[in-house]
Every structure is written in C-alpha cells, then in structure tokens.
Amino acid sequence: MKITLGSLRSSAFAVSVVFAGPAAAAGPSFDCAGARGPVETAICRSERLAKLDLRIDAAYRRIMRAWSTDAATREELRAVQRRFVEDRESAMAIDDDGLGRHLEAQAIFLEAIDTEPRSGFEGEWGNVAGGVRVTRDAAGLALWGNAVEPLRFRWICDVDDRGVVAGTTFIAPPAAVSPTHPEWSIRLERVAGAVRLLEVGPPGTETAPDGRALAQTPKCGHRGRFDGIYFPTKHRLRSN
C-alpha cells in the first residue's frame, strides 16, 4: 500500500491532499472545505501558512517515493512527521508566529533531506532541531554539531570533537574526557539510511529504554538533547 501524507491525515497523523478554490496553486495540501480544528482553519486562512503546508507535503512525498524500497528509513521519517503534526496545536499557542515557525522549520528540514544512498558516517546529517557533520582530514574523523529546541529556544547544544569508528559505531571523543562531565561520549550508529545519535554517560548512568541518558548531558543547555535520529541532508542544517 502506498503511504502518502493524504493517507496519513485520514489516520489523524498528517497534512493531506488537495485544495479546492481560487488559491489551489498556493496550497494548502488538503481541502479547506473540510478543515478540521483550529490548526487547519488557521492554515486555510493564511496564504503563507498554506504555502508552507504545501511545501511540507511535496517534500514528504518526494522523499517517500525515493525511499520506496527502504522500509526502515521510511518508518523513521513517518515517526518524525507524526510528531510534527502532533506538535502543531501546541506551536499555535506560542507567541510570535509559533505555528508559522513550526511549519517553516519542518519544510526546511524535509527539503534538505538527501535521498541518495550513503555509506559510513561522513557527510551532513540533520533533523528539525539542527544537524551534525562528520568530516575526514589527515588526523582522522571530526564531528561538529549544533541544535536548538525549535519552538521556544529553551536550550542549545554544541559539539566539536574528534572521533573514531569502532565497528558500526562512530565514537567521539575517542577517550571521552570532559572537565565537568568526565567519561561522557557521543556515539553515532547507522539506522538504515539515517544515523542515531546518543550522548552516552559513564558506567552507572541511568538510561531510558531507548538508551538515552536520563542525566543532563554535557553538550547541551538545561534539559537539552542531541539524542535522536538524523537524516542525510544535502547541506548543513543549523539550529534556528
């Protein structure tokens, strides 16, 4: 069965199909005659929001078509899109165009995704909060990253470390030493076409079931997290 944003919307997960009316070419991706709830009503009332919604729909469809044989990476992206849709209402409650910023960040992220197959860890990787870059030079591999909480900007994360590949895992730094958080390391693991990033604490650090450390991590501000799935991108995704 072919999965599109339209079929996801029918399950209350995503933005959907066609707009009937004079602004058809400008969006949104769904029929405003059947707009559901305050978010879709707001999108239909704003030409800018409607265009952003259409950009998100077009980018999502492009990626899902390109990854038609990569079920695992498609499922990771579906999860991201579900969270995006679930967060739209809370974004709408934020002052200073919260819904618009939420839609724009998702459009920029999806449009940046590179669907060409990629091996190893070198290259740009990103999600809606920001991105990481792995490069190779004469001294080996280096990891740079920057991310921010995308709606209220309550935290920021920065990393600039060297690393090594151990089997199927990229570990930075090789000998994890931090003046304030000794023995912490950042690890990247390939997950189908994407990478999963984890900030790993010293032995004894309490973790969530998915492996995330429950303690405050050293590379981010209060309650900030680098942890998550990062997709291959065509260019660097910086924090907002």
pLDDT at 217: 86
Q: Is the pTM of this model over 0.85?
A: no
Q: Which residues share a beta bridge with 145?
A: 132, 159
Per-residue confidence at 38, pLDDT binned at 50, 70, 90?
very high
Q: Which residues share a beta bridge with 156?
A: 148
What is the mean predicted confidence (pLDDT) over 108-132?
95
pLDDT at 216: 87
Mean of pLDDT over the chain: 85
Looking at the chain, the number of H-run helices and the number of E-run strands are 5, 8
- Strands of 80-234, DSSP E: 123-127, 130-137, 140-148, 156-166, 169-172, 185-191, 194-200, 228-232
